Copies of this chain bind each other. A is one copy, B any other.
Amino acid sequence: MSEVQAKRAVGRPPRLERETIVATARRVLEEEGVHALSMRRLAKEVGSTPRALYHHVRDKDELLLLVLAGMAASAPRPELPTAPRDRIYVIALHIHDMLQRLPWVVEVLGLGHVTDKGALWMVEEIVNSAIECGLAPREAIRAYRVIWLYIYGDLAVHAAIDRRASEGGEAEHRRPLPDMLTPDDAATLPRLTALGPQWNEVANVCDVPNGLHAVIDGLLARGAGA
């Protein structure tokens, strides 16, 4: 019957913690994606009001940044081969596979924030390995960037496709390229018309392992050849 219990039946008054906000935001992101996370929704989720959140984070951007911080640290590190060329491949594929399982992270990264600092060891490792393979430091940085952009491109495109698939019901658009070809196009686009069925077959299989091999070989060959 004290003034504390007058507010709630049990325990201490529920002072909102920054950590609670961030953890709840992460949960919503994991369960429903970035589109489901709004400040108002989050306020309800933690049993508070929108305004109260702004007492603990500057704005929504800072909140997303806080959610991202330390994500990489919680992921398991892969075993690394000793050959530097293989090390690049294994790390690159690891980055891809890890992020593919966490589509919301890609969506947040897509907003243009920095990378989580805990992920930098992978950058360090790739750049180091590239130098070990004979690339100049400058070329090694460039090589890392090409690899990252390829990975990011794949994740972004797949995220967009998945988003669309889960949202749109019937939707005539979003067809996988060759389905939009009419017989008329046989004249101007003979190859794509002929390839038609094979296209989807190839496009629906994840080609990143193969792609990475090719990209890495190309990058190392150019550096070493010079």
| Residues of A in contact with B (beta carbons under 8 Å apart) | 61-62, 65, 110-115, 117, 120-121, 123-124, 127-128, 131, 137-138, 141-143, 145-146, 148-154, 156-157, 160-161, 163-164, 168, 171, 173-175, 177, 180-181, 185, 188-192, 195, 198-199, 202-203, 207, 210-211, 213-219, 221-222
Contacts and interface: CB of A to CB of B under 8 A. Distances in A.
Contacts of A210: 142, 222
Contact of A145 (B137, B156, B207): B207
Contacts of A215: 146, 150, 214-215, 218-219
Given A142-B210, A214-B222, A222-B214, A156 B110 contact: yes
Residue of A111, A156, A207 most packed against chain B (CB within 10 A): A156
B213 A146 contact: no
Given A123-B192, A146-B211, A152-B153, A141 B175 contact: no
A149 B141 contact: no
B214 A146 contact: yes
A221 B217 contact: yes
A164 B111 contact: yes
B192 A124 contact: yes
B214 A161 contact: no
A145 B114 contact: no
Given A61-B171, A145-B211, A216-B218, 16 more contacts: A61-B173, A112-B161, A113-B164, A117-B180, A120-B177, A127-B192, A138-B198, A138-B202, A141-B195, A141-B198, A145-B207, A149-B154, A149-B211, A150-B153, A153-B156, A214-B221
A189 B120 contact: yes
11 contacts: A112-B174, A114-B173, A123-B177, A137-B195, A142-B207, A149-B154, A149-B157, A150-B150, A214-B218, A215-B218, A215-B219
Contacts of A190: 124
Contacts of A219: 214-215, 218
A47 B211 CA distance: 50
